[in-house]
């Protein structure tokens, strides 16, 4: 028996919406229509959605509801709200930004394949060029030094890099000057990459402060290519476990929270670096992987803002010294649109020389794959400079990220790479947190995986479990467990589940709650059904509205009797947890304790109402 089609309606003032889905079959309703006597009782379960007019357009809300009320919602402990990326309460925080205005003079120096050279274009334009390259050495996570200087000239063979980062000072025979900071992946010759080889690379690329919805808003080219060309799987149930970037990355990279690890706070009496933490890249390195950790935000690094950072370089390739030098160069001419030191023209701070910072970053990732083509790679890349303080700027990286993905696919590198695109959390600005959807978005960042085409055939169970888990509650702890499982996919006996973390290759139980997943209640984005009083005026209003709309729908049938509301037997509200609504922000500098003094207005309330209807008009002849 086929159920009746779902009915959508709204009041004239656009403030209230209705979704009706009857469990009665068409055959049963025909029998009811054919009654020639008495009063028939019709029991219908309806869902009624109250919304302020500023929240969601009608067409978008209908789309929202159809996704939100899946058939098995009642069977899953955690159901995240299906948010509308174009919600009016959020769109007031977004605007388009122009592409950065970088130097009109192309960079004189180029890198690639582990080498550096002076570009032919620069030679053709400026004649003979001589450059001094000063390699950038790392003192710690806060200071750099120059430790080696080499000279290169135009039309000479490329200079083989001995390290990744260097500052250049060049002059032409006509006296023109060029100065910049460059990054080029150097071939590592240590024993660290000559051990046991594995098959799957891991490429993990993320942005700071970008919610799932903002990823849709601001990175449309990347999202389209990721989902449609690479068949990426997006974790729609992903939920953060704490406040800020460290609280996202400590669980991902160590499997532990910051509080479970030894204190490495700068203000602590006993100074301690974070080198000894159980970093996941060390497990990959032991299996023969080339490891890379690339972060572009020197002034607010994930492990250096409050923490001591690393004493020694943590991975084979570590990009922090490069960005420290870029920051130093910018401060040498500290104005908003600082002058290009070479030609005195204004250029944007989202640029390094003639290239966007996001382009420089993505080019470096390309080079990592080129120079280590015969070695497995574990690469963490995280961009925060352009999105931490203004999430609108991230759209300038869209073209560079999608170009990187296209390059990796065309070169065959994605045939043996698990690609991960993500963000640590949504926007944490006060004005965004003031909106209920803003609170949800902070807790629901973007997280997606794309696998090589052959993966689902070689590992069908693991792949199908992963697909199932895209709609289950997942956390940073699960990402850590997944990283560990990648190293042992062929080991059916390997343990891929911890107390909190469950590998995404293992089916996550529907019954999983935020408490079981290690999510503090004020960070839990799950919606819950709460019992509502049948005498509540809003419940009564919903019931009357439903009755009127059903009568309007069936009024076209001459043989159908008009219904009147006989009784309300049960009512439920679909609401966020009160702790989420009260959350204002962090109550301490470390983001450990929450300020629960807010009282965000809940402008979207969904009601589910069980009604008994009476037919008050006799039917005198059958259909």
User: What does the DSSP assignment read for 234-258?
Assistant: E-TTB---SSSHHHHHHHHHHSS-G
Structure token pair of residue 346: 């204004």
Cα 342 off chain centre by = 38
Q: Counting Cβ atoms within 10 Å, is residue 12 exposed (0-12), middle (13-18) or buried (19+)?
A: exposed
Other CB atoms within a 10 A radius of the CB of residue 254 amount to: 18
Q: Which two tokens stand for residue 306?
A: 């409050």
The DSSP element (H or E) to which 68 belongs, if any, is: helix 58-68
106 close to 122: Cβ distance less than 8 angstroms: yes
pLDDT of residue 119: 96
- Which segments within 193-297 are labelled E, that is strand? 201-207, 233-234, 290-295
Burial of 384 (0-12, 13-18, 19+ CB in 10 A): buried
Please give the order of strands across the beta sheet that includes 563-576: 7-10, 16-20, 41-51, 604-615, 563-576, 527-531
By CB neighbour count within 10 A (0-12 exposed, 13-18 middle, 19+ buried), where does 141 fall?
buried
Q: Give the count of beta carbons closer than 10 Å to the beta carbon of residue 51.
A: 19
**Torsion angles phi and psi, residue 58, rounded to 5:** -60, -45
pLDDT of residue 396: 95
- H helix or E strand, kind and range, residue 60: helix 58-68
Q: What is the signed CA dihedral for 426, 429, 435, 441, rounded to 10 degrees?
A: 0
Instruction: State how far the Cα of 409 lies from the Cα of 403, in Å rounded to an integer.
Output: 10
What's the rounded Cα separation, in Å, for the pair 388 and 214?
13
Residue 584: predicted pLDDT: 73
Q: Whole-angstrom Cα distance, residue 507 to residue 526? A: 19
Q: 123: how many CB neighbours lie within 10 A of its CB?
A: 16
d(CA 94, CA 242): 25
- Among residues 185, 195, 113, 199, the alpha carbon closest in space to that of 415 is found at 199
Q: How far apart, in whole angstroms, are the C-alpha atoms of residue 243 and residue 241?
A: 7
Q: What is the pLDDT of residue 552?
A: 83
Q: Using CA atoms, how far apart are residues 323 and 321, in angstroms rounded to an integer?
A: 6
Sheet of 317-318, strand order: 233-234, 447-450, 417-423, 201-207, 377-383, 290-295, 317-318
How many other CB atoms are found less than 10 A from the CB of residue 507?
15
> How far is it, in rounded angstroms, from Cα 92 to Cα 377?
41
pLDDT value of position 251: 98
Q: Homologous superfamily of 191-523 in CATH?
A: Alkaline Phosphatase, subunit A (3.40.720.10)
CA distance 480 to 559: 62
181 CB contacts (<8 Å, ≥6 apart)? Answer: 136, 165, 166, 167, 168, 322, 325, 326, 329, 352
**What value, to the nearest 5°, has the Cα angle with vertex 430 and ends 428 and 436?**
80
Q: Where are the alpha helices (DSSP H) in 344-394?
A: 357-371
Over residues 26-62, the pLDDT tens digits come to 444 444 344 333 333 444 444 444 433 233 333 333 3
Tokens of 189: 């010759």
Order of strands across the sheet that contains 129-138: 144-153, 129-138, 165-172, 177-183
Sign of CA dihedral 436, 438, 442, 443: positive
Sequence-ordered strand ranges (E) for 29-176 = 41-51, 109-112, 115-118, 129-138, 144-153, 159-160, 165-172
Residue ranges of the chain with per-residue pLDDT less than 70: 1-74, 189-198, 333-347, 493-498, 529-530, 556-559, 574-575, 581-583, 592, 594, 599, 601-608, 613-623
- For residue 315, how far is the Cα from the chain centroid? 24
Torsion of CA 327, 331, 333, 339, to 10 degrees: 20
Closest by alpha carbon to 528, among 610, 473, 585? 473
| Nearest CA among 197, 157, 161 for reference residue 373 | 197
* Burial environment of residue 104 by CB neighbours within 10 A (0 to 12, 13 to 18, 19 or more): exposed
What pLDDT shows up at residue 189? 59
Which residue ranges does the chain devote to CATH 3.40.720.10? 191-523
């Amino acid at each position: 028996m086929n159920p009746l089609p779902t009915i959508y309606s709204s009041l004239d003032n656009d403030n209230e919406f209705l979704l009706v889905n009857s469990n009665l079959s068409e055959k049963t309703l025909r029998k009811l229509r054919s009654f020639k006597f008495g009063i028939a009782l019709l029991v219908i379960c309806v869902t009624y959605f109250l919304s302020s007019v500023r929240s969601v357009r009608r067409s978008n809300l209908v789309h929202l509801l159809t996704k939100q009320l899946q058939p098995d919602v009642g069977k899953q402990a955690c159901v995240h709200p299906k948010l509308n990326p174009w919600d009016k309460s959020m769109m007031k925080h977004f605007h388009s930004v122009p592409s950065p205005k970088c130097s009109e003079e192309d960079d004189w120096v180029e890198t690639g394949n582990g080498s550096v050279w002076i570009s032919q274009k620069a030679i053709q334009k400026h004649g003979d060029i001589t450059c001094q390259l000063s390699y950038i050495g790392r003192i710690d996570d806060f200071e750099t030094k120059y430790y080696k200087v080499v000279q290169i000239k135009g039309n000479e063979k490329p200079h083989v890099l001995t390290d990744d980062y260097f500052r250049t000072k060049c002059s032409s025979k006509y006296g023109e000057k060029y100065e910049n900071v460059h990054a080029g992946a150097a071939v590592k010759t240590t024993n660290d990459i000559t051990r046991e080889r594995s098959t799957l690379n891991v490429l993990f690329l993320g942005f700071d402060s970008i919610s799932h919805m903002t990823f849709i808003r601001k990175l449309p080219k990347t999202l389209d290519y990721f989902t449609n060309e690479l068949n990426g799987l997006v974790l729609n149930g992903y939920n953060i476990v704490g406040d800020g970037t460290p609280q996202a990355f400590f669980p991902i990279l160590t499997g532990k929270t910051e509080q479970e690890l030894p204190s490495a706070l700068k203000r602590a009496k006993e100074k301690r670096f974070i080198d000894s933490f159980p970093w996941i890249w060390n497990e990959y390195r032991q299996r023969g992987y080339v490891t890379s950790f690339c972060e572009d935000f020197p002034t607010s690094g994930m492990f250096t803002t409050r923490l001591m950072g690393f004493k020694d370089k943590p991975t084979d390739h570590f990009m922090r010294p490069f960005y420290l030098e870029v920051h130093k160069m910018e401060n040498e001419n500290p104005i908003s649109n600082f002058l290009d030191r070479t030609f005195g023209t204004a250029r944007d701070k989202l640029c390094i020389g003639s290239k966007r910072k996001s382009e420089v970053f993505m080019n470096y990732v390309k080079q990592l794959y080129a120079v280590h083509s015969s070695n497995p790679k574990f690469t963490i890349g995280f961009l925060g400079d352009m999105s931490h303080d203004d999430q609108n700027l991230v759209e300038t990286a869209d073209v560079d990220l999608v170009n990187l993905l296209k390059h990796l696919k065309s070169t065959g590198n994605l045939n043996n790479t698990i690609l991960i695109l993500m963000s640590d959390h949504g926007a944490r600005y006060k004005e965004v947190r003031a909106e209920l959807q803003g609170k949800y978005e902070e807790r629901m960042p973007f997280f997606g995986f794309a696998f090589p085409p052959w993966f689902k055939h070689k590992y069908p169970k693991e792949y199908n479990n992963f697909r199932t888990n895209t709609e289950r509650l997942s956390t940073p702890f699960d990402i850590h467990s997944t990283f560990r499982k990648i190293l042992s996919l062929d080991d059916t006996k390997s343990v891929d589940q911890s107390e909190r973390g469950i590998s995404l290759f293992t089916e996550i139980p529907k019954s999983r709650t935020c408490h079981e997943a290690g999510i503090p209640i004020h960070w839990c984005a799950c919606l819950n059904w709460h019992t509502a009083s049948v005498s509540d005026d809003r419940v009564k209003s919903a019931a009357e509205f439903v009755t009127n709309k059903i009568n309007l729908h069936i009024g076209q049938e001459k043989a159908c009797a008009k219904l009147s509301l006989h009784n309300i037997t049960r009512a439920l509200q679909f609401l966020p947890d009160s702790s989420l609504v009260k959350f204002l922000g962090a109550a301490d500098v470390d983001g450990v304790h929450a300020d629960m003094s807010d009282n965000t207005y809940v402008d979207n309330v969904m009601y589910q109402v069980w009604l008994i209807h009476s037919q008050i008009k006799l039917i005198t002849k059958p259909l």
